[in-house]
Amino acid sequence: MTLLEVRNVTKRFGSFTAVDDVNITIKTGEFFTLLGPSGCGKTTLLRMIAGFDAPDNGQILLDNKDIIDLPPEKRPFHTVFQSYALFSHMTVADNIGFPLKMSGKTSREIKIRVAETLSEVELSSFSHRYPHELSGGQKQRVAFARGLINQPRLLLLDEPLGALDEKLRENMQRELISLQAKANVTFIYVTHAQNEALALSHRIAVMNQGKIEQIDEPSRIYNFPINRFVADFIGKINMLDAQVIEASGYHLKLKVTGLGEVMAPVREHVKIGDQGILAIRPEQVRIDPLGSEVAAKFQLVGKIKDFLYIGDVTTYLIELPNSIRIEALQPNSFPGHAKLFEIGDPVVVSWQEHSAQFLPD
Amino acid sequence: MPLRHFFLWIISLLVYAFLYIPLIIVVVFSFNDSKLNAEWAGFTFHWYKVLFNNHEMLLAARNSLIIAVSASILATILGTMAGLAIHRYQLKFLPFLAFTPVAMPEILLGVSLLLFFLQVLNLTLGMLSIIIAHTTFCIGFVTIIVRARLQGMDESIFEAARDLGATPWQTFRHITLPLIRSAIIAGALMSFTLSIDDFVITFFTKGVGEPILPIQIYTMIKVAVTPEVNAISTLLMLLTLTLIIIATRFDTSMLKGDSKQPR
């Protein structure tokens, strides 16, 4: 069921268009992420949904009713800020109870609900502490608890994990997923961290320069990026300049600069003569020692130019004919082996036809 | 000790001597059992008794208190509003308007207010004109303190309050006001001390009739510096000092950005 609809929303700051004719539909119970580099307009869009900024054009509909004219306090949405925005002069209990107090609940009810919520987020013993007496992770949990206690229709999260260190962030990601499932609240999550978006979301909208590039499930965003920007922004990818020379049935025949003819799966709206890139993820590129049996139809001979060992995996940089370079990712799953190849080793590079794709410009 | 340090010590000692020895002398001679401010003749509370029987002086003190309380309340309200407005809307022109009276020579303010009251407003000079005059020069001080407190404050807490269901008024009452309370109190105390001992602006805007404390003291010493003047000066000093100490206590908690509020 549709909860929120953003319809043709545009926001300009002077001559700069921060959000450019954006359309999004968010379903009840969804964990929806706005993902993009800084300055792409994702935070501006979130602020318009929260009611802090008004769009120049377009509508924002809740249950099919336009809410543009409602001030933030009248919208049944709560926000978790990047800075947490805890009230420094209030205790943890008063912070969490604030939304209930503002909605006119009795102090008895507030006390009971706050106690319940505190025990849910395991902060009962901290109820009389002030925010400056808490650790980063605890502040985070207070901010979430405060955002959820009055059961908003929508929880807006503005890079809430940005200030945490990496270990803690991974734990908080798990907590966030279970929190959302438990609270049964729709989330709109803003982040520039693509791995966070992939890990958390039901659907992701990739934004760039105020526009939405692609809206899809994480695995489809990763495996089937719609264009060069999305492919490049999400994860690592090899991009080779290519042109379509034949399109038939299920295949495209591409002329890849420096490598000659390469096959790729067909895609809609692509015709002969189109320029673009052949995109392939490093983990889809297979490398074998020269002379070994390789089943793949398409293979090239190259030389290991460099490698980057990061523990669980090693990224090899391979030089192909005509100075074309390609990256291949190899898991280090053989016990005792740090790496499988040395710099200068001749190798066979191959990939399955369907793991590469043509992205038109 | 290096020579340079030696000179620094000497200069510092001289500065503090010139600052505080006159004040100490005033306090000491207010307890002197002699009509002359020349030699110590023994300890007495006599001059304080004389002071508390001086009807004119008590009236002046009462008037000054009324003026200082009214002006500091008005200046605190208006100055807080100005500080909030400057901070929130990042206005370029308002700080200039609000802070100028702080830097303006008092004599200029006094003369211009006098002309304004008499020739533009056609106001009879008295308590009201003094209160208005004091309010105008105190606003700037309150504004500076309140604005300093707001600077560096996480802006998102005000949005967070709105977001969590508070109306603009509730946001002010529950979030903004408690967070700047220390600055408001410091500003109010500062205004009070500035107002109670102001001479120049009071002199120009007081008109005839109502005695005002600093003017009254001045009229007394025109005749002679009696120990009675020492006594009233001592009391005034005590009051001002107490308020300054309280104000700086609030002020330092403000400067440190201490998030825990004094209750």
Q: Does A87 touch chain B (CB under 8 A)?
A: yes
3-class secondary-structure state, position A263: strand
Q: What are the backbone dihedrals phi and psi of residue A146, each rounded to the nearest 5 degrees, phi first?
A: -65, -35
Among A170-174, B54-58, B220-224, where is mean pLDDT lowest?
B220-224
> How far does the CA of residue B123 sit from the closest CA of chain A (Å)?
45
Q: Can you state the percent helix, strand and coil of chain B, rounding each to 5?
A: 75, 0, 20
Cα B41 to Cα A233, B28, B33, B59: the distances in Å are 90, 11, 5, 31
Find which of A56-60, A311-315, B22-26 is predicted with most confidence, using mean pLDDT. Answer: A56-60
Say how far apart CA A115 and CA A128 lie, in whole Å: 12
Identify the bridge partners of residue A288 per DSSP, sorted by sequence position. A348
Give helix B227-255 / helix B55-89 axis angle, nearest 10°.
Answer: 20
Mean pLDDT of chain B: 84
Q: How confident is the model at residue A337 (pLDDT cuts 50, 70, 90)?
A: low
Identify the bridge partners of residue A191 per DSSP, sorted by sequence position. A35
Among A217-226, A285-294, B161-170, where is mean pLDDT lowest?
A285-294
Q: What is the pLDDT of residue B4?
A: 79
Q: What is the pLDDT of residue B251?
A: 57
Q: What is the pLDDT of residue B258?
A: 44
Cα B14 to Cα B2, B9, B26: the distances in Å are 19, 9, 19
> Percent of chain A having pLDDT more than 70?
99
Identify the bridge partners of residue A305 per DSSP, sorted by sequence position. none
Identify the bridge partners of residue A243 per DSSP, sorted by sequence position. A255, A275
> For residue A85, which residues of chain B lie inside 8 Å, CB to CB?
154, 156-157, 159-160
Q: What is the pLDDT of residue A20?
A: 92
**B157 with A73: Cβ contact below 8 A:** no
As a whole number, mean pLDDT of residues A8-23 equals 93
Identify the bridge partners of residue A188 per DSSP, sorted by sequence position. A32, A156
Q: What is the pLDDT of residue B191?
A: 92
pLDDT at B253 > cutoff 60: no
pLDDT tens string B198-222: 888 888 888 777 888 888 888 888 7
As a whole number, mean pLDDT of residues A244-251 equals 86
Mean pLDDT of chain A: 90
pLDDT tens string B218-229: 888 877 777 888
In our burial notation (b when 16+ CB lie closer than 10 A, e otherwise), range B112-151 reads ebbebbeeeeeeebbbebbbbbbbbbbbbbbbbbbbbbbe
Q: What are the backbone dihedrals phi and psi of residue B179, each rounded to the nearest 5 degrees, phi first?
A: -75, -30
As a whole number, mean pLDDT of residues A26-50 equals 94
pLDDT at B86 > cutoff 80: yes
Q: How confident is the model at residue A361 (pLDDT cuts 50, 70, 90)?
A: confident
> How far does the CA of residue B152 sit from the closest CA of chain A (Å)?
13
Q: Can you state the percent helix, strand and coil of chain A, rounding each to 5?
A: 30, 35, 35
pLDDT at B37 > cutoff 80: no
Tokens of A329: 């990712």
Residues A9 and A66: beta-carbon distance below 8 Å: no
Q: What is the pLDDT of residue B257?
A: 44
Instruction: For residue A226, give every residue at least 6 positions away whose Cβ sits within 8 Å of its Cβ, in sequence order, or none.
Output: A213, A214, A359
pLDDT at B149 > cutoff 70: yes
Q: What is the pLDDT of residue A338?
A: 60
3-class secondary-structure state, position B251: helix
pLDDT at B70 > cutoff 90: yes
pLDDT tens string A111-132: 999 999 999 888 899 999 999 9
Q: How confident is the model at residue A242 (pLDDT cuts 50, 70, 90)?
A: very high
Among A206-210, A336-340, B186-190, B256-260, where is mean pLDDT lowest?
B256-260
Say how far apart CA B151 and CA A88 lie, in whole Å: 15
> For residue A71, which residues of chain B lie inside 8 Å, CB to CB?
162
Which 8-state DSSP code applies to residue B224? -
Break chain B into its structural domains and give their ranges. Answer: 54-255
CATH numeric code, A2-230: 3.40.50.300
Q: How confident is the model at residue B151 (pLDDT cuts 50, 70, 90)?
A: confident
Is CATH 1.10.1660.10 the classification given to domain B54-255? no
The beta-carbon neighbor of A130 closest among B166, B175, B259 is B259
Mutation for testing the A interface, residue in B153, B164, B256 having most A CBs under 10 Å: B164
Q: What is the pLDDT of residue A28?
A: 93
Cα A172 to Cα A164, A182, B58: the distances in Å are 9, 15, 68
Q: How confident is the model at residue B1 (pLDDT cuts 50, 70, 90)?
A: low
The correct CATH number of A236-360 out of 2.60.120.10, 3.30.460.80, 3.60.15.10, 2.40.50.140 is 2.40.50.140
pLDDT at B250 > cutoff 80: no
Q: What is the pLDDT of residue A325?
A: 92
3-class secondary-structure state, position A12: strand
**B160 with A50: Cβ contact below 8 A:** no
Residues A190 and A19: beta-carbon distance below 8 Å: no
Residue A299's CB: how many other CB atoms inside 10 A?
Answer: 14
Break chain A into its structural domains and give their ranges. Answer: 2-230, 236-360
Say how far apart CA A284 and CA A329 lie, in whole Å: 8
pLDDT at B263 > cutoff 70: no
pLDDT tens string B101-116: 888 888 888 888 888 8
> Percent of chain B having pLDDT more than 90?
29
Mutation for testing the B interface, residue in A53, A81, A84 having most B CBs under 10 Å: A81
**B163 with A150: Cβ contact below 8 A:** no
Identify the bridge partners of residue A154 per DSSP, sorted by sequence position. A77, A186
As a whole number, mean pLDDT of residues B2-23 equals 89
In our burial notation (b when 16+ CB lie closer than 10 A, e otherwise), range A204-229 reads bbbbbebbbbbbbebeebbebbbbbb
Among A86-100, A291-305, B3-17, B220-234, where is mean pLDDT lowest?
B220-234
Among A14-23, A227-236, B119-128, where is mean pLDDT lowest?
B119-128
Q: What is the pLDDT of residue B262?
A: 39
